Chains A and B, each alone.
Chain A
Amino acid sequence: QSALTQPASVSGSPGQSITISCTGTSSDVGGYNYVSWYQQHPGKAPKLMIYEVSNRPSGVPDRFSGSKSGNTASLTISGLQAEDEADYYCSSYTSSSTPHVVFGGGTKLTVL
């Protein structure tokens, strides 16, 4: 069982917007602004899409955005494109017991 809870799957049509949630606790998501989101295509390494809740690394389209409210972080993808179909993982830094990183279980995004 993963430390952070994500929906197993979401779907949307091209051009639409979708949101993926990531629920943790006050010891991780709620306690720090070190929430990240990664995109992973089959057989590939994950790619950083969002860090520190809402920051985009250089080269990531502004269709990708992040936010947080309490113990739940969210990734929103607007203007869905076929190439967005992938698995998405959230992660958070936590100092619970000892400093470490926790991941969500992952969400499969299907572009219909």
Chain B
Amino acid sequence: QVQLQESGPGLVKPSETLSLTCTVSGGSISSYYWSWIRQPAGKGLEWIGRIYTSGSTNYNPSLKSRVTMSVDTSKNQFSLKLSSVTAADTAVYYCARERRGVRGVIDYWGQGTLVTVSS
């Protein structure tokens, strides 16, 4: 059974860069798209972007200028960086796996990690 676990600082200062890592266990990271999705408290889901194990990326057009994703297949990890954060970036951040062969379908999710942007 594939498991995903987010890790990173729970508190980030405004204007700084949010950095999160997702560790995948129970299966190989290879040959899948890996995604980041966030959810502000009491609000809906927002897709941030995805990365293939080759390093190819797709980002949400509304966040594209601030997002960078990377993957480390040797560690079975992938990462998110979101620059110039504001209070509006406060949310639970989920890492997730896209189901193979079906575009945009998330079949495995991490438990989520709360990131608060505050000074």
Contacts and interface: CB of A to CB of B under 8 A. Distances in A.
A64 interface: no
Contacts of B105: 34, 36, 48, 51-52
Contacts of A89: 44-45
Interface in B54-113: 58-61, 64, 94, 99, 102-107, 109-112
B55 to A, nearest CB: 16
Nearest to A87: B44
Contacts, number: 68
A51 B44 CA distance: 19
Interface residues of B, number: 24
A35 to B, nearest CB: 9
Q: How large is the interface on A (under 10, 10 to 19, 20 to 34, 35 or more residues)?
A: 20 to 34
B32 interface: no
B49 A100 contact: yes
Interface of A: 2, 32, 34, 36, 38, 45-48, 51-52, 57, 89, 91-93, 97-106
Interface of B: 35, 44-47, 49-50, 58-61, 64, 94, 99, 102-107, 109-112
21 contacts: A34-B102, A36-B104, A36-B105, A45-B94, A45-B109, A45-B110, A45-B111, A46-B109, A47-B109, A48-B99, A48-B106, A89-B44, A89-B45, A91-B45, A91-B106, A99-B103, A100-B59, A100-B104, A101-B35, A103-B44, A106-B45
